[in-house]
Amino acid sequence: MPVQAFKEQLAEEYERRFPRSAAHHRAHAASLLDGCSHAVRWAEPFMPVASRASGARVVDLDGHEFVDYWQGHFTNLLGHNPPLIRDALARALDEGRGLQTGMLHELEARAAELIVECTGTESVRVTTSGSLGTFYASLLCRGFTGRDLVLKVRGGWHGSQPFGLKGVSPHGEAYDRIETEGLSSSTPGEILLTRYNDIDELQRVFRDRGDRIACMLVEPVMGQGGGIAATPEYMREVRRLTAHHGALLVCDEIITGFRFRAGDLTQLYGIEPDLLVLGKVLGGGMPVAAVAGRRDLLALCTREQHRVKFEGGTYSAHELGLLATVTLLEHLIREEPTLYPALARAGGELREEIRGLAERAGVAVSLLGTPEPVGSSSSLLMLHVLREPGDDPASPEEMARRAHPVLDDDLLKSVFLLHGVSVRTGLGAISTVHDEDDFHRTLEGLEAGFDRLRRAGLVDAVA
């Protein structure tokens, strides 16, 4: 079946299966731009609209229940609406506190203490999103060094902020474009790109431009890049080269912070960044992000120095947000010896089941999301369908070259939803409340989805 015909058939099935969601989108098409306010929450023909979520499951307007691995943009380590956090927020509201007052509150200091304790950093400033975190971190580094160049990895996503909006999405196999209009004409020249896990290219960049590089932004596990993990050798060389050339290292751990341990992943690589950007899990389902690191570097945004305008927004350090953060971090610290090993075991078992399922279905897959320092398995499972079997891709460029020409993330998401599984990047993230029944339903759903794609002739499709 031609791909377009399959997608048209899919759209007709979505209309029949999700009529209330379809009606919702039609009713609000004029007022709600693009049907939603975050692009990655959408896939064609449209996305079911959630009515409630609890634990590992989401229920839509038509009453369909999905096993969910998107889990709030990989935020919900404890699952959707965990009682631990929900009850703490409800108590605060009942006590007449929690909504924005514009006043100081004790939770802000407690959250800072916990972040510093868990990450081994010196100071922290809280904000509301990862995009703001990486933006402020870049400003701090440029101000501190007096340099103007920001180095990032091709395929790396550091939010919708000027210093990250180059080389994010592939165009063919190339990652070289500015991602948006409206930026200053100088911006393209201020962002340098390098290939992930390629030490030789990294060394060439620093040899040629090292005296002008203010900082390097790097994720130990790439989010937009599909779960590709940095090798320990690469991370060590990133740290060595930045230090040698007087540049600063910013580790973007918005996805990985508190995902593998009660703290950052960078420590497991045995390196210390100058700044660490945290988010997602940190907020416990609330809009909380943080920039943590060296005190002398963060001091540029203090009242005393006032050199970098990192002063927060109206909702930074929101009391309910930081109540969720404090409640979650105290729980993770307390339960760390058992919680994270259990997550890793569950991830490892599901990973092997999916690998076997895909092999039986004749689908070549790569299952990413496990950085070497955490062992052989983790709670991140990023599934990619490849043209043919082989080793896991080591960079986004390699992924773009080897990716299946038809079975991309959006199509997998749309197909698997029809079989009761909600995914992102092929699968996504396991929470502490995903159980054997969830995994059984997941495997049934993936098997049915792959069978649907094979019967349509799309598994063997060529570009």
Shared domain check, 388 and 277: no
Which helix (H) or strand (E) segment is 251 a member of? strand 248-253
Q: In terms of Cα–Cα distance, which of 443, 425, 438, 315 is closest to 73?
A: 425
- pLDDT for position 316: 96
Q: Is position 241 within any domain?
A: yes
CB 395 within 8 A of CB 228: yes
- pLDDT in the model for residue 176: 86
Shared domain for 75 and 90, answered yes or no, is: no
Evaluate whether residue 275 is within a structural domain: yes
The number of distinct structural domains making up the chain is 2
Q: What is the DSSP letter of 440?
A: H
Segment-wise mean pLDDT, segments of 10 residues, the chain, 463 residues: 93 97 96 94 95 98 98 98 98 97 97 98 98 98 98 97 94 86 94 98 98 98 95 98 98 98 97 98 98 98 96 94 98 98 96 96 96 93 96 95 94 97 96 98 98 94 62
- Same domain? For 90 and 212 the reply is yes
- Distance of alpha carbon 328 from alpha carbon 322, whole angstroms: 10
HEC profile for 375-416? Answer: CCCCCEEEEEEECCCCCCCCCHHHHHHHECCCCCHHHHHHHH
- For the chain, the straight-line distance linking the first and the last C-alpha, in angstroms and rounded, comes to 14
Give me the half-sphere count of Cα atoms (radius 13 Å) on the Cβ side of residue 440.
3
Residues 71 and 97 in one domain: no
How long a stretch of residues is the chain? 463
- Give this prediction's pTM: 0.96
Strand order in the sheet with 65-68: 50-54, 57-60, 65-68, 421-422
Give yes or no: residues 77 and 88 share one domain: no
Residue 462, pLDDT score? 61
Side by side, which strands form the sheet with 191-194? 123-127, 289-293, 275-278, 248-253, 213-218, 149-153, 191-194
Q: Is 74 within 8 Å of 255 (Cβ atoms)?
A: yes
SS3 for 343?
helix
3-state helix, strand, coil in the chain (%, to 5): 45, 15, 40
For residues 71 and 91, state if they share a domain: no
Task: Give Rg (Cα) of the chain.
Answer: 22
pLDDT at residue 1, rounded to an integer: 82
Judge if 140 and 175 occupy the same domain.
yes
Q: Is residue 336 part of a domain?
A: no
Q: Which helix (H) or strand (E) holds 155?
A: none
Q: Which residues span the domain enclosing 156? A: 83-331
Burial class (CB in 10 A: 0-12, 13-18, 19+), 443: middle
Q: Are 265 and 257 in contact (CB under 8 A)?
A: yes
User: Is the bond preceding 45 in cis, omega lying within 30 degrees of 0?
Assistant: yes
Instruction: Determine the 3-state secondary structure of 426 from DSSP.
Output: coil
Buried-exposed string 3-35: b where 16+ CB fall within 10 A, e elsewhere: eeebeeebeeebeeebeebbebbeeeeeeeeee
Q: What is the pLDDT of residue 174?
A: 81
CATH number at residue 243: 3.40.640.10
Please report where in the chains the tokens 């259990």 appear, as a residue.
342
In a domain, 100, yes or no: yes
Do 253 and 391 fall into the same domain? no
Half-sphere exposure for 350 (CA within 13 Å, toward CB): 33
Q: What is the pLDDT of residue 221?
A: 98
pLDDT of 437: 98
Q: Give the separation between CA 8 and CA 197, rounded to whole angstroms.
A: 39
Whole-number pLDDT of residue 463:
52
87 and 40 share one domain: no
The DSSP 8-state label assigned to residue 315 in this structure reads T
* Domain CATH number, residue 410: 3.90.1150.10
Same domain, 322 and 251: yes
Using alpha carbons only, give the angle 291, 56, 458 rounded to the nearest 5 degrees. Answer: 95
User: In this structure, are 141 and 269 located in the same domain?
Assistant: yes
Q: Does the residue 461 lie in any domain?
A: no
In 3D space, the residue among 259, 165, 151, 158 whose CA is nearest the CA of residue 206 turns out to be 151
Q: Please indicate, yes or no, whether residues 259 and 325 belong to a single structural domain of this protein.
A: yes
Could you tell me if 76 and 323 are in contact, meaning their C-beta atoms sit under 8 angstroms apart? no
